[in-house]
């Protein structure tokens, strides 16, 4: 009767653990429930509820429009500055929010990690997925703005889901590194907000890529969010020059970061319960 039972082998930590995607797939329901919990709980006992998903990028857009657009006269490639910057803020918020959540996710799930077994990758992945809902809410506002300014996206809009995925993957790639590091070194917690702020200014959210000097473009392009933000503007605002090179560079950087991040995470994972 018991011959067909699966056998779990328990061994000391190995230095090159497998990524374990199959096991992750087995735990997809847990992934779903944790994401669902995060979304469900996030705006509980808040007066404004899901409106917070809109308020944050909205106010940043207003501040940017006032200081960068109006006062500093930052160019916006011939597009009305508010739409221009909001179009960059959306993927940026998705990235920044997901990254922050993912980085703190393991430490925040201590009680789970020390009491139950499941593939630990579920924790940062569900944190990243939680950011997508906020994005969707804010996206509705963007559609309203496009309507207001009379901008009609062209066929390029089909690239949007791919670009979104790229932003989420970028957040996960960096988030994996930071969440695992955070378990061991709590310094990471204090570094994240600083890192995100710095990263915002290294990404063409408040200004167009065109003002970056030509000779720095290659280095600049290594920031995976450059391709994502440029791609968003191209897909939604219908700018003629396609940022294919930029997007491809981003994709390669993300894949590299993600692969290393996965290995690093899996390696450290074996000690999480002991050191968290």
Partner 1 sequence: MSNLAIRCEGLSKRYRIGGYTDHYKVLRDVISDVAAAPFRRLKSASRNGNSNGIENSYIWALDDVSFEITAGEVVGIIGRNGSGKTTLLKILSRITKPTRGHAEIHGRVGSLLEVGTGFHPELSGRENIFLNGAILGMRKSEIERKFDEIVAFAEVEKFIDTPVKRYSSGMYVRLAFGVAAHMETEVLLVDEVLAVGDAQFQKKCFEKMREIGSHGRTILFVSHNMSAVRSICKEAVILERGKLVAQGEIDRTVDQYLSRMSLSQSFEQAIETNTFSVTSVEVSSVSGAVVKTFDPVQVRVQFVPKSEIRDPGLYVSFLTMDSRRLTGLDLKDFVTSAPLPAGEPAELGFTIESLPLMPGTYQVEIHLKDMARHLIEFVPQTFQFEVAETEVYGGRKLDGWFGNVGLRAQPLENISRKDA
**What are the residues whose beta carbons fall under 8 Å from the beta carbon of 276, sequence distance 6 or more?**
106, 107, 110, 113, 114, 183
**Closer of 94 and 192 to partner 1 (Cβ):** 192
Q: Which two tokens stand for residue 175?
A: 């988030």
Q: Is residue 70 a contact point for partner 1 (CB under 8 A)? A: no
Q: What is the gyration radius of the CA atoms in the chain, in angstroms?
A: 20
Stretch that binds partner 1, among 72-80, 224-232, 257-265, 267-275 (CB under 8 A): 267-275
What's the min distance (Å) between Cβ of 164 and partner 1?
26
For partner 1, the closer of residues 36 and 199 by Cβ is 36
Neighbours of 191 (CB within 10 A): 15
According to the binding rule CB under 8 A, does residue 50 interact with partner 1?
A: no
Query: 97-116: which residues touch partner 1 (CB under 8 A)?
Result: 111-116
Among 102, 107, 262, 237, which residue's Cα sits nearest to residue 167? 102
Rule CB under 8 A: say whether 52 interacts with partner 1.
no
Cα distance between residue 91 and residue 242, in whole Å: 18
Out of 47, 187, 214, 216, the residue judged to bind partner 1 by CB under 8 A = 187
Structure tokens at 227: 């391709």
- Contacting partner 1 (CB under 8 A), which of 117, 155, 194, 216? 117
Asked whether the beta carbons of 146 and 236 are under 8 A apart, the reply is: yes
Q: Is 146 exposed, middle or buried (0-12, 13-18, 19+ CB in 10 A)?
A: middle
Looking up tokens 């011939």, which residue turns up?
A: 78
Q: Which of residues 6-45 bind partner 1 (CB under 8 A)?
A: 6-13, 27, 29-30, 32-34, 37, 40-41, 44-45
Q: How many residues bind partner 1 (CB under 8 A)?
A: 41
Structure tokens, 86: 């909001």
Token couple for 166: 């790229």
Least spacing, CB of residue 12 vs partner 1, in Å: 6
| 118 lies in the site for partner 1, by CB under 8 A | yes
Q: Is 186 in the site for partner 1 (CB under 8 A)?
A: yes
Interface ranges with partner 1 (CB under 8 A) = 1-2, 5-13, 27, 29-30, 32-34, 37, 40-41, 44-45, 111-118, 183-187, 270-271, 273-276
């Amino acid at each position: 009767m018991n011959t067909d039972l699966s056998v779990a082998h328990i061994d000391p930590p190995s230095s090159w653990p497998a990524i374990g995607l199959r096991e992750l797939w087995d735990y997809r329901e847990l992934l779903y429930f944790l994401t669902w919990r995060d979304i469900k709980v996030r705006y509980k006992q808040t007066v404004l509820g899901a409106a917070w998903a809109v308020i944050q990028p909205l106010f940043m857009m207003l501040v940017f429009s006032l200081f960068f657009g109006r006062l500093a006269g930052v160019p916006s490639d011939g597009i009305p500055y508010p739409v221009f910057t909001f179009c960059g803020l959306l993927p940026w918020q998705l990235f920044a929010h997901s990254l922050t959540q993912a980085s703190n996710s393991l430490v925040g799930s201590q009680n789970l990690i020390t009491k139950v077994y499941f593939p630990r990758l579920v924790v940062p992945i569900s944190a990243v997925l939680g950011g997508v809902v906020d994005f969707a809410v804010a996206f509705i506002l963007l559609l309203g703005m496009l309507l207001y300014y009379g901008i009609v996206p062209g066929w390029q809009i089909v690239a949007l889901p791919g670009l979104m995925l790229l932003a989420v993957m970028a957040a996960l790639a960096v988030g994996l590194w930071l969440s695992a590091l955070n378990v061991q070194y709590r310094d990471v917690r204090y570094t994240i907000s600083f890192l995100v702020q710095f990263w915002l200014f290294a990404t063409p959210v408040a200004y167009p890529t065109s003002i970056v000097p030509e000779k720095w473009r290659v280095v600049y392009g290594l920031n995976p969010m450059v391709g994502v933000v440029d791609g968003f503007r191209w897909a939604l605002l219908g700018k003629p020059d396609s940022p294919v090179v930029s997007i491809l560079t981003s994709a390669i950087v993300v894949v590299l970061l993600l692969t290393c991040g996965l290995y690093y995470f899996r390696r450290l994972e074996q000690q999480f319960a002991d050191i968290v």
